[in-house]
């Protein structure tokens, strides 16, 4: 029987990460390209995706006739049933029928879904959440997204917008969030939230190793890890603050859903998962009922950068 390959993509505002999976669900080729989110329009981003897929096919040496399907994520609100990107904050797509365009170009089925939903799905089907029927996932990066598995199925709500855990309002008098509300979990615990806290401390005259890292944008997670390991007081405060509010949100989620597992993933967790998990576990019991807490496991994602890629694969295979 002829081999068949699937191509899975993680598309963000600054990079496209791609992988080719073989018929045994093993990654046989990878490609990562940095991109700019400020393109002139939807077609520009589409052309970047097309160029990445074409380069992967060429460089890996697979036969185009053996390509089974392509799947991709995008941040924002996605209609996976019709393959339409309804809205995304970091890419120039609005009501964009990406499935139709990509299927016309490549002649194979194309799937698309929300990035964090797919990250949680990938961990559920192939990673740390495998075997758990009910899972709530917090993915911490530049923003803070969520994903929800209920009764073994990805739950996206009535209009594909469920599990926006980053926009739970925890303190109505708290810092302004990018969504326009105050005191959202994202405003405390994302890289953006921590960056804003560090900048505020610099304005107050405090010294920190993170000053250069936050000067023109959000820091890279590895920079924060180095500062924390060096005992930088401002960096430690930013992490403590982020973990405190993650513990509060996690306790509420445990009480609300009684999940088998609370899962943390994303770039910050990949860089500092042990540190974050230790601090969250030290506090979370204060914010949930003991009888419910003891039935819920809390841990970090196992697939790292590949969580979303495996979520793409799960979409393709209908898992």
Classify burial at 281, counting beta carbons within 10 Å of its beta carbon; exposed 0-12, middle 13-18, buried 19 or more.
middle
Same domain, 156 and 30: no
In a domain, 127, yes or no: no
Classify burial at 14, counting beta carbons within 10 Å of its beta carbon; exposed 0-12, middle 13-18, buried 19 or more.
exposed
Same domain, 197 and 77: no
**Domains held by the chain: number:** 2
In a domain, 25, yes or no: yes
Render each residue's pLDDT in the chain as its tens digit; 319 residues. Answer: 468 999 999 987 677 899 999 999 999 999 988 765 444 556 678 888 999 999 999 999 999 999 999 999 988 899 999 999 998 877 778 999 999 999 999 999 999 999 999 999 999 999 999 999 999 999 999 999 999 999 999 999 999 999 999 999 999 999 999 999 999 999 999 999 999 999 999 999 999 999 999 998 999 999 999 999 999 999 999 999 999 999 999 999 999 999 999 999 999 999 999 999 999 999 999 999 999 999 999 999 999 989 999 999 999 999 7
In a domain, 126, yes or no: no
Give which of 312, 317, 314 is closest to 114, Cα–Cα.
312
pLDDT for residue 146: 96
In a domain, 125, yes or no: no
* Its pTM surpasses 0.85: yes
Dmax over CA atoms of the chain, in Å, equals: 68
Same domain, 152 and 41: no
Positive or negative torsion for Cα 75, 80, 85, 87: negative
Same domain, 274 and 291: yes
In a domain, 183, yes or no: yes
The CATH number of the domain holding residue 31 is 3.30.420.40
Same domain, 288 and 147: yes
Range of the domain at 10: 5-119+307-317
Same domain, 89 and 171: no
DSSP reduced 3-state for 226: helix
pLDDT for residue 21: 98
pLDDT for residue 12: 79
In a domain, 83, yes or no: yes
Same domain, 294 and 311: no
Same domain, 216 and 77: no
């Amino acid at each position: 029987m002829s081999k068949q390959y699937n191509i899975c993509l993680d598309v963000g505002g600054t990079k496209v990460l791609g992988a080719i999976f073989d018929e045994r669900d093993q990654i046989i080729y990878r490609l990562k390209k940095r991109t700019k989110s400020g393109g002139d329009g939807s077609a520009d981003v589409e052309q970047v995706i097309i160029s990445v897929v074409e380069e992967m096919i060429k460089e890996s040496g697979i036969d185009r006739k053996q390509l089974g399907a392509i799947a991709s994520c995008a941040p924002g609100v996605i209609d996976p049933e019709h393959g339409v990107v309804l809205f995304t904050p970091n890419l120039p797509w609005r009501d964009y029928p990406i499935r139709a365009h990509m299927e016309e170009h490549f002649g194979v089925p194309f799937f698309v879904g929300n990035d964090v939903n797919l990250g949680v799905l990938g961990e559920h089907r192939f990673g740390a959440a495998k075997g758990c029927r009910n899972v709530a996932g917090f993915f911490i990066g530049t923003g803070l997204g969520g994903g929800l598995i209920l009764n073994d199925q990805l739950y996206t709500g009535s209009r594909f917008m469920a599990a926006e855990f980053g926009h739970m309002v925890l303190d109505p008098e708290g810092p302004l969030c990018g969504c326009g509300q105050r005191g959202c979990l994202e405003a405390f615990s994302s890289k953006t939230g921590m960056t804003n806290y560090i900048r505020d401390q610099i304005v107050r005259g405090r010294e920190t190793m993170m000053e250069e890292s936050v000067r023109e944008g959000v820091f890279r997670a590895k920079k924060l890890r180095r500062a924390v390991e060096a005992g930088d007081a401002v960096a430690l405060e930013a992490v403590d603050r982020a973990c405190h509010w993650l513990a509060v949100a996690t306790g509420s989620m445990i009480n609300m859903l009684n999940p088998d597992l609370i899962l943390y993933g994303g770039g910050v967790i990949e860089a500092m998962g042990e540190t974050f998990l230790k601090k969250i576990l030290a506090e979370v019991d204060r914010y949930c009922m003991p009888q419910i807490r003891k039935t819920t496991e809390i841990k970090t994602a196992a697939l790292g950068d590949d969580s979303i890629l495996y979520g793409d694969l799960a979409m393709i295979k209908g898992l």
